[in-house]
Homo-oligomer: A and B are copies of this chain.
Amino acid sequence: MALIVQKYGGTSVGNSDRIKNVAARVARYRAAGDQVVVVVSAMSGVTDGLIKMAREIMPLPSEREMDMLLATGEQTTIALTAMALQSIGVRAVSLTGAQAGIVTDGVHTKAKIQNITPRKIHEYLDAGQVVIVAGFQGQTSEGQITTLGRGGSDLTAIALAAALKAGLCQIYTDVDGVYTADPRVVATARKLEEISYDEMLELASLGAKVMQSRSVEFAKKFGVVFEVRSSLNDNPGTIVKEETKNMEDVVIRGVTLDKNQAKVTMVGVPDRPGVASRIFNALAGAAVNVDMIVQNVSHGAGVQATDLSFTVDKPDLLKAQKVIESLRAEVGYTMVSADEKIGKLSIVGVGMRSHSGVAAKMFETLAREGVNIDMISTSEIKISVVISLARGDAATKAVHAAFLG
């Protein structure tokens, strides 16, 4: 008998039939003698519908009231899920984030969990009930309703698994687990049996849309082992856990292609101290999220100058261009160009640490494929290159074949 925390996302509870499917799955675990805590998101489309209603009232609604509004989405799902369990004879009770003892700070719409007092959850579990908890929400110590921001339900599940010392934490989604590459692009992509937190973090931030980074970081911090698996079948998923020695035997865990980046290149930037910090402070001030930064010495005549390239999220490109334009006189660069038709191809794996020649092999593979590399950026367990978007899928296939077969 184990205590299991299961999290079901919006599509898994998207209508009454799907909620019944969730209930049937929970019932199987319950029948096997497990204690089950179920965390659910709002039914798919509900949160967007609520946001639309708020925007009809006011373009930029107060964040406190947005939390009050959005929290109803998950509250609806917990009640329906509890009913679905009861309808098949499984005792179940629903709890809002507040009732479940999830206490957050007061930063509305992106609150951080401060602590969890799961007294009520334990009481209900001990009484033989399945406990359904509203994901994505909590309350401050003063009783204000808060929400946790994007990916908040995953965070609720992982934080509850930590607080309850659960034996198992399962994140149910619409994919079978974490793959070595996007199976829609790479036919030979395989599901991973396991992956380390750090690898998962690199994949999450690199555009493998399975989970938000913050949930993985939280799991890493509190040592919560969790499984990403599908709510549509009974296949085992991917276990995400602390790095183990044998994980290093695998050089590369996966290949990802992020198509949501754009590149800005500033040519002839004067090579003097403080220029880069001026540029990136200005971008940060405009809330532009900068990812890769590459600087090369430029061989211009006269003053010493460099070329500076960086990538930003595509929706931020216009904002970034405006910021750079506003710095033209002050910084004194020669020209600026932007390219939206890029892809960021990355390979990730803790095995890189103990295997040499990984970067060389990647570049060689791309060269053989005739793919030109625009930018390169590396971390301890990741190598990313910016290439032409048009060659993205072909490059992904070639790199996957070279490292993962």
Contact = CB atoms under 8 A, between A and B. Distances in A.
Interface string A24-53: 000000000000000000000000001001
Interface string A49-71: 01001101110011011101101
Interface residues of A, number: 35
A65 B78 CA distance: 8
Interface in A59-96: 61-62, 64-66, 68-69, 71-72, 75-76, 78-80, 82-84, 86-87, 93-94, 96
A83 B71 contact: no
A58 B79 contact: no
A65 B82 contact: yes
B76 A75 contact: no
Nearest to A71: B75
Contacts of A53: 16, 76, 80
Number of copies: 2
A58 B78 contact: no
B99 A80 contact: no
A118 interface: no
B84 A64 contact: no
A106 to B, nearest CB: 14
B68 A94 contact: yes
A86 B65 contact: yes
Nearest to A60: B87
Contacts of A54: 79-80, 83
Contacts of A86: 58, 61-62, 65
Contacts of A72: 72, 75-76, 79
A229 interface: no
Nearest to A52: B16
B83 A65 contact: yes
A20 interface: yes
A68 B75 contact: yes
A220 B96 CA distance: 36
A143 interface: yes
Given A56-B16, A57-B20, A82 B62 contact: yes
25 contacts: A16-B53, A16-B56, A50-B76, A53-B76, A54-B83, A57-B80, A57-B87, A58-B84, A58-B86, A58-B87, A61-B83, A61-B86, A62-B82, A62-B83, A65-B82, A65-B86, A68-B82, A68-B96, A69-B75, A69-B80, A69-B83, A71-B75, A72-B75, A75-B75, A120-B143
Interface of A: 16, 19-20, 50, 53-54, 56-58, 61-62, 64-66, 68-69, 71-72, 75-76, 78-80, 82-84, 86-87, 93-94, 96, 99, 120, 143, 145
8 interchain residue pairs of minimum CB distance: A69-B79, A72-B72, A58-B87, A68-B79, A16-B56, A57-B83, A65-B79, A61-B83
